[in-house]
């Protein structure tokens, strides 16, 4: 484990904060609102508060540290630990990775959530995406969610489109778009650099 972190260095940048506002629209009119408030310190300390993310009516707090790969300007890894309370109560080790390679971008969020009350509610979750910046302020790509819970695996492939204007971004995800179980996730996100 120590050897892994030798490859990484602390980030030295300005502090950032952001508000992510995701709205999940499912077939049949189901709706889920998922706000995420995040903060990143100058030294890479990272934290976020989520609501309705792990489960409906559940609030979660995640803390960790963001590292960048030495010699690679655009590759970061963020190990985190989270705790949740509400319809799902438990703790979650998590790992986020992000990379930019020219106009391409890749990201993956992985988390294993352990329930305090019912082991059958424990789950593994992965959200991965790869995209391409088509032109300034507009990108597109593919995305997938994988959830493993109670011995069942749920795989949701899809695609994404996104637009950015300064500090505001609007990502739109279409999961299982050509099936009766499709859903649309729309984000309205704001990122601010603190001075």
Domain chopping of the chain, boundaries: 2-193
Alpha carbons 149 and 169: distance in angstroms, whole number: 31
Sole residue written with tokens 């790992």? 95
- Give Cβ neighbours of residue 101 (< 8 Å, ≥ 6 apart): 74
pLDDT at 12: 52
- Give Cβ neighbours of residue 114 (< 8 Å, ≥ 6 apart): 90, 91, 92, 122
pLDDT digits (tens, 9 = 90+) for 102-121: 899 999 999 999 999 999 99
If we measure between CA atoms, which residue out of 12, 2, 128, 138 comes closest to residue 68? 12
pLDDT at 19: 94
Q: What is the largest CA-CA distance in the chain?
A: 50
For residue 5, the surrounding DSSP H or E stretch is helix 2-6
With 70 as the cut, is the pLDDT of residue 10 above it?
no
With 50 as the cut, is the pLDDT of residue 3 above it?
no
Alpha carbons 126 and 108: distance in angstroms, whole number: 7
pLDDT digits (tens, 9 = 90+) for 123-182: 999 999 999 999 999 999 999 999 999 999 999 999 999 999 999 999 999 999 989 889
| 2-193 topology per CATH | Porin (2.40.160)
pLDDT at 11: 47
pLDDT at 72: 58
pLDDT at 29: 73
With 60 as the cut, is the pLDDT of residue 52 above it?
yes
Terminal C-alpha separation, the chain = 34
pLDDT digits (tens, 9 = 90+) for 61-81: 999 999 988 765 689 999 999
Prediction pTM value: 0.87
Sole residue written with tokens 């030295």? 12
User: How confident is residue 27, by pLDDT bands cut at 50, 70 and 90?
Assistant: confident
């Amino acid at each position: 484990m120590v050897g892994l972190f030798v490859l990484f260095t602390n980030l030295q940048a300005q502090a950032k904060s952001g508000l992510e506002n995701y709205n999940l629209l499912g077939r049949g009119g189901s709706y889920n609102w998922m706000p995420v408030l995040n903060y990143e310190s100058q030294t890479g300390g990272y934290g976020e508060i989520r609501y309705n993310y792990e489960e409906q009516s559940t609030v979660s707090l995640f803390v960790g540290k963001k590292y960048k790969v030495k010699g690679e300007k655009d590759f970061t890894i963020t190990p985190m630990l989270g705790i949740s309370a509400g319809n799902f109560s438990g703790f979650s080790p998590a790992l986020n990775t992000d990379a930019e390679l020219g106009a391409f971008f890749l990201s993956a969020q992985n988390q294993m959530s352990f329930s305090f009350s019912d082991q059958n509610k424990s789950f593994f979750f992965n959200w991965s995406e790869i995209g391409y910046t088509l032109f300034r302020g507009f990108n597109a790509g593919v995305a997938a969610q994988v959830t493993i819970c109670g011995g069942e695996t749920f795989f949701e492939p899809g695609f994404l489109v996104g637009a950015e204007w300064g500090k505001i971004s609007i990502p739109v995800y279409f999961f299982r778009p050509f099936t009766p179980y499709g859903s649309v996730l729309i984000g309205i996100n704001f990122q601010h650099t603190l001075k």
